[in-house]
Amino acid sequence: MSTATSEAARRRTFAVISHPDAGKSTMTEALALHASAITQAGAVHGKAGRRGVTSDWMEMERARGISITSAALRFDYRGHMFNLVDTPGHADFSEDTYRVLAAVDCAVMLLDAAKGMEPQTMKLFEVCRHRRIPVITFVNKWDRPGQEPLELLDEIEERTGLRPTPVTWPIGVAGNFHGVVDRMEGRAVRYTRTPGGATKALETELTPEQGAAELGADWTRAWEETDLLAAIGAEHDQKAFEAHESTPVLFGAALSNFGVARLLDVLVDLAPAPAPRPDVEGTVRPLDAPFSGLVFKVQANMDPAHRDRIAFVRVCSGRFERGMVLTHAATGRPFATKYAQSVFGQERATIDEAYPGDVVGLVNATALRPGDTLYEGKPVEFPPIPSFAPEHFAVARSRSTAKSKQFRRGIDQLDGEGVIQVLRSDLRGDQAPVLAAVGPMQFEVVQHRLATEFGAEIILDRLEYTLALRTDAESAEVLRRQRGAEVLSRSRDQALLAVFTDQWRMRSIQREHEGLTLEPLIAGRGIPGATG
């Protein structure tokens, strides 16, 4: 077995995903705590004197208590290297979440014990299904009132088609949480919360006699329900899990650190290690092939003192060595990797080598964009990462003409990161670009970052368009004369986009002018909500 293959076997690269407010950032912090990567867990709102969470490093994230950008955390646990990618906590930033899912081998899906399968949860399940990403389900907030556990299992199966196979089962109804029955290990554990929930919860194994004496009816009910699960065959099957046919289920409470250690163990024992990836032609690139990597995230100004730009690269094959000169597949040009780092939230450390599954931060990567491939040796290019068709549009102008250079530099920076899509209008010129977003909160992020990172306050004038399609030069001449439509060019590739107030106006124009070229943005075809 080659070094790359053996090192890949001990990697676990996964994302934490869910509907907003289900506790993603809190879970990320709790996992890092239990792996001893941090000594005290932060709180999303920093309550009771606790610091903020490691993964929510942006000022705007900490002020609002939601994740706005994805964050990578790297740590060791039980002899395995974990690459944990936290994802944005709001549907307006779904595009960032989809990029992350192109870089992971497994997903931990959090469900709110009271709310169950929510709309954003369902969308993410569908993306995982499309990408054949195995899903581990963690029912969070069991220390608060919620649904019956058997009802939640029925909902998971009915809504997703995945067969739930509980690894742990709660002792006590939601809101009266004592501990869990560990079905795979055949034991019961009681949890005791530590002050403030900032350190690891205490775990005590219970004998049948202790459980019956101390927990009474809740103990009896938990074991009766586990007998029922056994009777209906709700047992873990590794092949079914990896084929995205079943999902292991755990119960806990991330804020209290209940059940988090068991989730780490399940990730080690059940989550798949990195596997060979197909390139854009469908040819599988072996793990021990020369280095190749996929850029899935670009982020600038993580460190205000340096104002640099980091490209997050998922290693797909081979051994990465700091200083190696790679080829940028999109341009064919060499790319030097002198400044390579591992990232833990906003903290960084120089990384000298990495293997398949690892996430490497390449500093000052001004030429790289999400979806780019880097390689050594024989050329390879991985499939592009889908982007979303924008549904919200606004004209951006600098509030001060004296800040026009900072304004343009900031707009170009955010476009390169994929924070927003930047479109050019012949009607308005370069000083008034049209910003296109999946959700309106993206505009708030642009305003905040331009003001704080570039000193350029902006004015946004919302446009009435809700639909964008690809067109060509000939059709553009016709469309420019239509009411309720406009032709814009995309900054990153000069593609012509026709935007419309709504589908009814688009169809009306099509009826009046047959033969117009109006096509979906195609790179992400087949993925819910995605285009290219």
Task: Indicate the annotated binding residues.
Answer: 86-90
**Among the listed residues 391, 388, 420, 466, the one whose alpha carbon sits nearest the alpha carbon of residue 127:** 388
Strands 373-375 and 325-328: antiparallel
| AA identity, residue 334 | P
Asked if 460 and 447 touch (Cβ cutoff 8 Å), the reply is: yes
Evaluate whether 298 touches 352 at the Cβ level (below 8 Å): no
Residues in CB range of 282: below 8 A, 6 or more apart: none
Q: Which residues are annotated as part of the binding site for GTP?
A: 86-90
Between CA 23 and CA 406 the distance in angstroms is: 36
CA–CA dist 302, 497 (Å, integer): 32
Query: Scanning the structure block, which residue is given the tokens 């004998």?
Result: 207
Alpha-carbon span 197 to 175, nearest angstrom: 16
Gap between the Cα atoms of 60 and 64, Å rounded: 6
What CA–CA distance (Å, rounded) separates 273 from 13? 8
**C-beta separation of 27 from 142 below 8 A:** no
- Identity of the amino acid at 125: F
CA 308/CA 340 separation, integer angstroms: 13
| Contact call for residues 224 and 216 (beta carbons, < 8 A) | no
Sign of CA dihedral 153, 158, 159, 160: positive
CA 470, CA 465: separation in Å to the nearest integer?
15
CB 418, CB 370: distance < 8 Å:
yes
Residue 511, burial from CB neighbour count under 10 angstroms (0-12, 13-18, 19+): exposed
